[in-house]
Amino acid sequence: MTAEAAEHLRLDNGPDEAVSGLLVQPPQPRACYVFAHGAGAGMTHKSMETVVAGLAERGIATLRYQFPYMEKGGKRPDPPAVAHATVRAAVAEAGRRFAALPLIAGGRSFGGRMTSQAQALSPLPGVCGLVFLGFPLHPAGKPSSERARHLADVTVPMLFLQGTRDALAEFRLLEPVVKSLGLRAALHLLDGADHSFHVLKSSGRNDREVTDEALDAFAAWVDEVIG
């Protein structure tokens, strides 16, 4: 599945504002992932394309979208309220397109965190679970768990896909956060991977193998959630 196979969308994001989206639908999908990008790269970044293609191979549709700052070519992420509104617009569009499918929401880094904040403030319609591809627990070099406080208000199941070398989520802090969320949270560690799921050559495997591991875990978790 390639970018050329995606359907281009425009998502209304408040008065007089819209953002771009990309919808990829494999044959007979069993769920749709509403997929937000990270802070530094938009929805067409190679890493996003790789995840979308891998999920399509596993029978999961995706709806990617831009946050307004990325749509305008900016570098500073939008304020949370603007990001949350964009998440809601994308989820609403996914619900219209896939009325009969379970929705999973989340994304890479910043996108995943904005999605979880939106869900914590008011449940996203139709969303039955959240998946984080590298949850940014803290800035690099500034370990803290403050960014995870809102997760206590998320009541749907959550999956954290995290590299063991992730500089934005030290394991000694991340593990107790996930444990504190009880049965509704699961953590899958990617050995040797950093925040972008990149591994060193000395690890004995490559980035594609790590991504495949992450997406296999993703698909298996979705099957558990949707029953």
Q: What is the domain-level CATH number for residue 73?
A: 3.40.50.1820
CA dihedral 58, 60, 63, 64 (to 10 degrees): -30
42-66 pLDDT, tens per residue?
999 999 999 999 999 999 999 999 9
Collapsed DSSP state (helix, strand, coil) of residue 105:
strand
- What average pLDDT does this structure show over 193-206? 92
Mean of all residue pLDDT scores within the chain: 94
Among 138, 196, 203, 199, smallest CA distance to 170 is for 138
pLDDT tier for residue 1 given thresholds of 50, 70 and 90: very low
Domain containing residue 221: 3-226
pLDDT tier for residue 3 given thresholds of 50, 70 and 90: very low
CA 160 – CA 174 distance, rounded (Å) = 10
DSSP state of 39: S
* Residue-by-residue DSSP string for 83-95: HHHHHHHHHHHHH
- Number of domains into which the chain is organized: 1
pLDDT at 204: 85
